[in-house]
Amino acid sequence: MNNFAKFNLKPFLMDALEEINFKEPTPVQNKIIPLINDGKSVVGQSQTGSGKTHAFLLPIFNQIDPEQNTIQAVITTPSRELSYQIYEAAKQLAKKSEQPIEIGNYVGGTDKKRQLEKLEHHQPQIIIGTPGRVLDLLKARALNMRQVKFMVIDEADMTLDMGFLNEVDQIAASMPEHLQMLVFSATIPQSLNTFLRKYMENPAIEEIPTETTISPTIENLLISTKGRDKNQVIYQLLTLGEPYLALVFANTKERADDITDYLKSQGLKVAKIHGGIQPRERKRIMKEIHRLEYQFVVATDLAARGIDIEGVSLVINDDIPEDLEYFIHRVGRTGRNGMSGTAITLYKPNDEDKVVEVEQMGVKFQPKAISNGELVDTYDRDRRTKRVKDHKKLDPTMVGYVKKKKKKVKPGYKRRIRKAISDKDERDRRVAKHQEFREAKKAKIKQSRANRNR
């Protein structure tokens, strides 16, 4: 039995779920779908890969009236890639409906004039787009928001970070007062509260437990790049096995360019996605990636929050992101829908503090190294800490000598320090040997007395 049946979804939605092989609702879907079906506004805090897209699409489609040719739902996203992702998911659901459900996708970088002409004659029932373009069309009086029932703000924290909240505010202000607003975000920053209070009265607030942040099917590996060229390391990792689809994440556009150029020079066919690439080109590349024309993709964090590609088996972090929240989104590209995945994070010695911060988020790393073309277990990163603990057992005088030895002192003084340490070691050996001799002598006397008493 398909467990989505408990949500009383229309038959065409059940058919669509069957086609995409969705059988078991995720925790976020179990919590959110009934709330939306009951007409409640919702603030859903959930991480990437949790299934939140269908958590709002399914109940919206369940209540859309195909016979009403008005805009009934508006979904805003902070990035074009995320808009395309939700648009594709929505089309999958809509195609099973006997009556056509029109979906409009409006993002920056596309043909605005053509969109205006089309909207003049026909309004879609569902709008998905970036705040800037949706607001442009609204100001041009091409969109009629007076019949909107649902407004979804996806990735609200990223919307805030990218400065789009003002546009979203203006869009929401054009809608009916009794609006069912659905806000989804990986985190709910304090600065969002003013906006939420303005449009949401007593919303249902659902926070999915953080243990669902990273799928247990993801293996997190950690590799030190000390003294090694990172481009070469990435190439080795990509060619160790045969990943179905591998994503390499870089912190900057420049670094993404550098990695891509190197991998191409080694004969790999590589796709590149970042904000410096023209929108039409990005859209074309994304379609080619979805058609599996590429096995290797290099991207910046723009893609981490906006690309949902089925079958990603390997993620490589060229560096730990400055905003650690992005680490979760990067790693969340793999290990989806119960499938296994591998995430490899590269780090330099001066990244140790960042690694610790990631671990404090609940990530458990396995330290690895590349040896003879294979990934092998390597040392425990905490070994230095453990050695420091052992130093406390040293004689206080010797601890002082060791500390002095590390400082820059005159050559003659260094010799005296070395001699003092050497003499101390020799004395310790003599004491230990003498102690050992005494213990042996005691044992011999004890044995002799035992023999006499037999």
pLDDT tens column, 297-324: 999 876 655 566 777 899 999 999 877 7
As beta bridge partners, residue 344 has: 221, 316
- Estimate to the nearest angstrom the gap between the alpha carbon of 161 and the chain centroid: 17
Q: Which of 214-218, 219-223, 298-302, 339-343 has the lowest mean pLDDT?
A: 214-218
More confident residue, 131 or 349: 131
Rounded to two decimals, what is the model's pTM?
0.59
What average pLDDT score do residues 247-264 get?
A: 94
Query: What percentage of the chain has pLDDT greater than the value 70?
Result: 80
Looking at residue 386, its pLDDT comes to 46
| Domain range summary for the chain, segments of one domain joined by + | 5-207, 218-377
| Residue that has been written with the tokens 């050559």 in this structure | 411
Same topology between domain 5-207 and domain 218-377: yes
Q: Are the C-beta atoms of 175 and 74 separated by less than 8 Å?
A: yes
Mean pLDDT of 182-210: 81
Phi and psi at 199, nearest 5°, equal -110, -10
The predicted pLDDT at position 384 comes to: 47
**Region of poorest pLDDT, from 10-19, 259-268, 280-289:** 280-289
396, pLDDT greater than 60 = no
Share of the chain above pLDDT 90, in %: 44
Lowest-confidence region among 10-14, 49-53, 140-144 = 49-53
Architecture of domain 218-377: 3-Layer(aba) Sandwich (3.40)
Average pLDDT of every residue of the chain: 83
Strongest mean pLDDT among 13-22, 119-128, 189-198: 119-128
Residue 283 near residue 84 (C-beta atoms within 8 A) = yes
5-207 classified as CATH 3.30.360.10: no
Q: Give bridge partners of residue 128 from the DSSP assignment.
A: 75, 105
| Strand order across the 246-249 sheet | 270-273, 296-299, 246-249, 314-317, 341-347, 218-224, 366-371, 374-377
**Residue 36: closest CA among 191, 150, 160, 147:** 150
Q: How do residues 72-103 score in pLDDT, each as one tens digit?
A: 999 999 988 889 889 988 999 999 999 999 99
- 137 token code pair: 């069309």
Residue of higher predicted confidence among 138 and 389: 138
CA distance 69 to 47: 34
For the chain, what is the radius of gyration of the CA atoms? Answer: 31
Residue 60 has pLDDT above 70, yes or no: yes
pLDDT single digits (tens) 119-149: 988 899 999 999 999 999 999 999 999 999 9
